Amino acid sequence: MTALASMTAERYQRIRKLLATRQPSLTICLEQVNKPHNVSALIRSCDAVGINRIHAVWDNKARLRKKTSMGAENWVYTDMHPSIGDAVSHLKQQGMQVLVTHLSDDAVDFREIDYTKPTAIILGQEKTGATEEAIALADKNIVIPMVGMVQSLNVSVAAAVVLYEAQRQRELVGMYKTINLSEQECQRVLFEGGFPILSRICKNKGIDYPHIDENGHIVADASWWQKMQMTAKGMRKLEQETARDNEQTYTNKRP
C-alpha cells in the first residue's frame, strides 16, 4: 500500500491551484430542487465560480448525475439541512446576507447586489419556486430582468447568471487572489482528491486523514499504515470502483 503514498506533482499543483481560488463566503441553498439534472448543473456552475460548499433542503436526497456535472460533485460538498429555517439560521450565523430568487414588488435587479459580501442565494423548487418561509427569512428578493414573453429561467440557468455576476465583482476586488480556505480544509481536499482509494478506506474504517506535504506525499507513521491494511479482495473492489468512476468522467469529457 506504500506505493500509493504520493500523487503526481501535476495533480498536486492542480488541486492546490483550485483550492487557492475557492470562495467559502459565497454559496447557494437549494430548497427542494428535485430534478437531478438541475442539481448536477447547479453544482457544475458552483465549481466553475469557485464555490466549495453548498447547502440543500430535500425531502428525499437527490441523486446526482455525473454525466451532467462531469465530476464537479467530487469538488463541491453539500451540507444537508432538515428545513429551510435551519439552513437560513446556519447561513446567517456565518454572517452571510441571504438572497432569494423571487419576483415581487420589492425585488431588486440581481446586479444591484454587492456580492463581495458573504452571500448565500436560495433557489426554490423548479415548479413552485421558493416557499413563503424562505422568502420571509431572506434579506432580499432578487430578479433577473427579462423582456421576452417568458418571465423565468430554468433554475440552473438563473443560478449561473447570478453566480457569474458574483464572480465578476469578486474578481474586480481581487478576492480570487487570496487563499480563503483553512489549511485543514485544504488538507482534506488534497487527500480525498489525490488519494480517492485511501480516503475511502479511511471513511470505511473511521481513520483520520494523514498530512499531505508540499510534494504531494502522505506523511504518516507505521501505525497509520497498519490501520489502513485491507484484504486483497477489499483493495481490488475499491480499485475497480475508482476505475469505473474515472472511466465515467473520461467518457463524459469526450467531445
Residues 6+ apart with CB under 8 A from 56: 29, 30, 31, 33, 62, 78, 79, 80, 81, 87
Annotated binding site for S-adenosyl-L-methionine: 101, 144, 153
List pLDDT tens digits, range 185-225.
Answer: 999 999 999 998 899 889 888 899 999 999 999 999 988 98
Domains in the chain, ordered, with CATH? 2-13+181-253 (no CATH), 24-172 (3.40.1280.10)
Q: What percent of the chain has pLDDT over 90?
A: 60
Task: Enter the pTM of the model.
Answer: 0.82
Annotated binding site: 101, 144, 153
* pLDDT, greater one: 244 or 135: 135
- CA–CA distance, 134 with 101 (Å, rounded to integer): 10
- CA–CA distance, 69 with 63 (Å, rounded to integer): 12
List pLDDT tens digits, range 121-162.
Answer: 999 888 888 999 999 999 999 999 887 766 678 899 999 999
* pLDDT, greater one: 204 or 246: 204
